[in-house]
């Protein structure tokens, strides 16, 4: 991809007599070498030849310079359109759009631009470099149309939901967003509630779930709720009760397939040794965790331990033939049990694949 571009670079450099440019093409692949997905790198690369191939006068007609006579003189020697220039221009355009409100928010408050530009890059650092996450079975998540992704919850803080949504978005061929359903406690808290909405979350209730599924979205749900994330380290990877199975009836009513997903690694990030119940009651929280580092080390204890993560999507369970039994408790509980068993068994096989929780 970068071959022809680099070859052309020294030519144009020669024309402008700026020898400093020589190390630049070197530096770029090194940076790219890191982890930028090919799909994202491609458009920036292919766009490059156009300005460099044209005569020196035309680059100033590039969108960045249009209508700015004052800045043309240095801008020409700067070659508008080089890598950093585009990065800066894109960043500034993004800031301008944010500050003038030129973006779209859907009826649940989901802000895809902000999610793509800010939240997913941060989560990418976390799941790729810190947790070394391996994702398998992504082909079990449909490319289009609705699906209900049901996972095991763990980790004292519901980080696994965010990691799952970011990893799925990056690894899935259609780069689908996972719309998470969260407990109402999340939406009671200022700031947190808005972060949840902006990244595509909404309150876990049947009307919202059915509306999202009816609109063809991918919905993520963790039926264990606080029982899952608030369990002690000794109980790791033991699935808790699945509540009333409200998620199953939402799937049945809309005829949506259920995709169970097993997440290994979340339990070790904040190993919860004890739960100070009186303090939790005082703070109106479902539990107050004590981990080896929290609250002992204070804010430092909030850094998650670098466990090794494995995420596996299981084959979808079709529900289209059961649409009429959405209110039948027997069908709902059976299906919930089936999902639960699938996740539990997948967890065991994944754990066998990962003998050392903090391995490479």
Partner 1 sequence: MTPGGTSGAPGVVVVTGVGRYLGAHVAARLAADPRIERVIGVDAPDSGTEFTDLLDRVERIRVDNGALGGLLADLDVDAVVHLALVTSPDPQHGGRSAMKDQNVIGSMQMLAACQRAPRLRKLVVRSSTAAYGVSFRDPAVFTEETEPREVPRGGFGRDILDLEGYVRGFRRRRPDVTATVLRFAPFIGSTADTTLTRYFSQPFVPTVFGRDPRLQFLHFDDALEVLHRSIVEDHPGTYNVAGPGVLSLSQAIRRAGRVAVPVLEPGLSGAAALARTMGFGRYGLDQVDLFVHGRVVDTSRLEQEYGFTPRSTAEAFEDFIRAHHGGVVVTRNQLAAAEQLVLDGIRQVRAAVRERSS
101 binds partner 1 (CB under 8 A): yes
233 binds partner 1 (CB under 8 A): no
- Nearest to 84, CA basis, from 131, 139, 44, 136: 44
How many of the chain's residues bind partner 1 (CB under 8 A)?
50
For partner 1, the closer CB: 108 or 233:
108
258 neighbors 274 (Cβ within 8 angstroms) = no
- Nearest to 252, CA basis, from 146, 181, 345: 146
Contacts of partner 1 in 111-140 (CB under 8 A):
111
Among 30, 99, 234, 300, binds partner 1 (CB under 8 A): 99
Among 42, 47, 53, 205, binds partner 1 (CB under 8 A): 205
For partner 1, the closer CB: 98 or 171:
98
For partner 1, the closer CB: 198 or 231:
198
For partner 1, the closer CB: 62 or 134:
62
197 neighbors 154 (Cβ within 8 angstroms) = no
For partner 1, the closer CB: 6 or 106:
106
Could you give phi then psi for residue 192, rounded to 5 degrees? Answer: -60, -45
Contacts of partner 1 in 173-192 (CB under 8 A):
184, 187-192
Q: Which residues contact 343 (CB under 8 A, 6 or more apart)?
A: 150, 151, 152, 239, 260, 261, 262, 314
* 39: its two tokens: 């799909």
216 binds partner 1 (CB under 8 A): no
Q: Is the dihedral of CA 187, 189, 192, 195 positive or negative?
A: positive
What is the rounded distance in angstroms from the CA atom of residue 206 to the CA atom of residue 249? 8
For partner 1, the closer CB: 106 or 275:
106
Among 198, 227, 236, 253, binds partner 1 (CB under 8 A): 198
What is the rounded distance in angstroms from the CA atom of residue 267 to the CA atom of residue 93? 40
Give one DSSP letter per residue of 48-116, joined into a string.
Answer: THHHHHS-TTGGGGSTTTTT-STTHHHHHHT-TTSHHHHHHHHHHHHHHHHHHT-S---TT---HHHII
Give 94's Cβ-side CA count (13 Å radius). 13
| Interaction pattern, residues 38-77, with partner 1; x per rule: CB under 8 A | --------------------------x---x-xx--xx-x
For partner 1, the closer CB: 171 or 211:
211
The DSSP bridge pattern shows strands 218-221 and 178-182 to be parallel
What is the rounded distance in angstroms from the CA atom of residue 35 to the CA atom of residue 31? 8
Give the nearest distance from C-beta 294 to partner 1 in angstroms: 23
Query: Measured between alpha carbons, how far apart are the two ends of the chain, in Å?
Result: 31
197 binds partner 1 (CB under 8 A): yes
* 40: its two tokens: 């994202």
88 binds partner 1 (CB under 8 A): yes
Give the nearest distance from C-beta 172 to partner 1 in angstroms: 24
Give the nearest distance from C-beta 229 to partner 1 in angstroms: 19
95 binds partner 1 (CB under 8 A): yes
Q: Which stretch binds partner 1 (CB under 8 A): 18-26, 43-51, 134-142, 226-234?
A: 18-26
Give the nearest distance from C-beta 186 to partner 1 in angstroms: 9
289 neighbors 231 (Cβ within 8 angstroms) = no
Among 8, 32, 171, 211, binds partner 1 (CB under 8 A): 211
What distances in angstroms separate CA 235 from CA 216, 224, 306, one per listed residue? 36, 13, 20
Give the nearest distance from C-beta 27 to partner 1 in angstroms: 14
Per CB under 8 A, residues contacting partner 1 are: 17-20, 64, 68, 70-71, 74-75, 77-78, 80, 84-85, 88-89, 92-93, 95-96, 98-103, 105-109, 111, 184, 187-194, 197-198, 202-203, 205, 207-208, 211
């Amino acid at each position: 991809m970068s071959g022809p571009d680099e070859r052309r670079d020294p030519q144009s450099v020669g024309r402008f007599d700026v020898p400093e440019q020589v190390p630049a093409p070197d530096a770029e692949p090194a940076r790219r070498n890191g982890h930028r997905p090919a799909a994202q790198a491609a458009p920036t690369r292919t766009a490059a030849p156009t300005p460099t191939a044209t005569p020196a006068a035309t680059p100033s007609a590039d969108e960045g310079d249009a209508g700015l006579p004052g800045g043309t003189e240095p801008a020409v020697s700067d070659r508008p359109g080089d890598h950093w220039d585009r990065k800066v221009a894109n960043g500034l355009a993004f800031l301008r759009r944010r500050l003038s409100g030129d973006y779209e928010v859907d009826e649940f408050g989901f802000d895809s631009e902000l999610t793509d530009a800010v939240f997913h890059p941060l989560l990418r650092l976390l799941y790729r470099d810190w947790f070394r996450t391996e994702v398998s079975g992504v082909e079990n998540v449909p490319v289009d149309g609705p699906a209900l992704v049901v996972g095991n919850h763990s980790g004292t803080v519901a980080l696994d939901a965010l990691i799952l949504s970011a990893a799925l978005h990056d690894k899935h061929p259609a780069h689908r967003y996972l719309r998470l359903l969260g407990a109402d406690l999340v939406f009671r808290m200022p700031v947190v509630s808005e972060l949840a909405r902006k990244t595509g979350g909404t309150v876990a209730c049947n009307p919202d779930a059915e509306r999202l599924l009816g609109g063809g979205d991918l919905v993520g749900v963790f039926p264990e709720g606080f029982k899952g994330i608030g369990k002690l380290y000794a109980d790791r990877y033991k699935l808790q009760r699945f509540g009333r199975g409200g998620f199953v009836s939402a799937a049945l009513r809309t005829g949506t397939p259920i995709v169970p997903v097993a997440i290994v690694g979340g339990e070790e990030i904040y190993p919860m040794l004890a739960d100070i119940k009186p303090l939790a009651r005082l703070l109106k929280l479902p539990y107050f965790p004590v981990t080896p580092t929290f609250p002992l080390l204070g804010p430092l204890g909030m850094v998650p331990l670098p466990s090794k993560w494995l995420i596996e999507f299981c084959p979808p369970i079709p529900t289209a033939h059961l649409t009429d039994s959405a209110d039948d408790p027997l069908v709902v509980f059976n299906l919930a049990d089936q999902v639960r068993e699938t996740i539990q068994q997948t967890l065991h096989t994944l754990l066998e694949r990962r003998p050392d929780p903090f391995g490479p």
